[in-house]
Amino acid sequence: MKHRIFAALFAILFLSAHSMAQLPRSNHVVLLIEENHSFESVVGSSSMPYLNSLMAKYGLATRYYANVHPSIGNYFMMTTGQVISTTDGWPGTVTSNNLARQLIKGGKSWKVYAEGLPSVGYVGGDTYPYVKHHNPFAYFSDVKSSSKERDNIVPSTELANDLTNDHLPNLSLIIPDELHDAHSASLSAADSWLKQKIAPLLSNHSFQQDGILIITFDESTDSDKIHGGGRVATVVIGPKVLPHKQSSTFYQHQSILRSIEHALGLPTMAAASSCNSFSDFF
């Protein structure tokens, strides 16, 4: 009888502690987005040993699904909570609430580190292998209309300098070009580029204090339309992430938006208010 009572109390305490898990505040949230591969083609792949080593050490979401095909709507979902467009060549401007607006109003620093970007502040069209529709900040009216904010869109080569000089912003969006994001070249090439950029980040003193790195894929293969955009691999990394954690919580790209908002102490956009954040990784 005593054993059953003890077991019941332990279960209550465990569930209470789990339900109180919260995503911790961070001064350095980093999002890196890869392209167009299914969960099954990435997790356990011998072509991506570095990414799989991060999955094993930190956190892996096993029920994470992209929202749509093709790419652009997923990038907008991560940064506005809305699909906005399903045309990769969409020429418009996003005037609705977005992550850049929240960061500016909240006094938070941010940068987009885009590989192949022609110049600092560039918000124009594709210049292969850089493609605009992988850079949602280039569409936001809050950025396009301000030369100060446009200067936060920089070539990815500036990441190394900012790490060396301890200038990592509150939010970093890292965008590989089409030769290194697994879109037009191999998973192996994407993994090598990932290691080159991420290993110095993880060893950075500021990131080691409270950093959160999220690596995801924008969408699965075109044939995988489960929950809109198919099942993709998403990894949550940082000094406070539970080791070897695998979460079976249901996530989509708006969960990234909500998690960034929570970590940086920003208001939650209405479009992301009903989704799960990454709190169970901590």
**What is the average pLDDT across 178-196?**
96
**What is the average pLDDT across 95-101?**
98
> What tokens were used for 108?
């938070």
Over residues 52-94, the pLDDT tens digits come to: 999 999 999 999 999 999 999 999 999 999 999 999 999 999 9
**What is the average pLDDT across 191-204?**
97
Over residues 113-167, the pLDDT tens digits come to: 999 999 999 999 999 999 999 999 999 999 999 999 999 999 999 999 999 999 9
Edge-first strand order for the sheet with 245-247 is 153-155, 110-114, 171-175, 29-34, 212-217, 234-237, 59-61, 245-247
Q: What residues pair up with 110 in beta bridges, in sequence order? A: 171
DSSP H or E stretch at residue 202: helix 187-202
- What pLDDT is recorded for position 21? 64
CB 32 within 8 A of CB 179: no
Does CATH place domain 25-281 in 3.90.870.10? no
Q: Compute the CA torsion angle 48, 50, 51, 54 (nearest 10 deg).
A: 150
Q: What residues pair up with 112 in beta bridges, in sequence order? A: 153, 173
What's the rounded Cα separation, in Å, for the pair 282 and 279? Answer: 6
- What pLDDT is recorded for position 16? 37
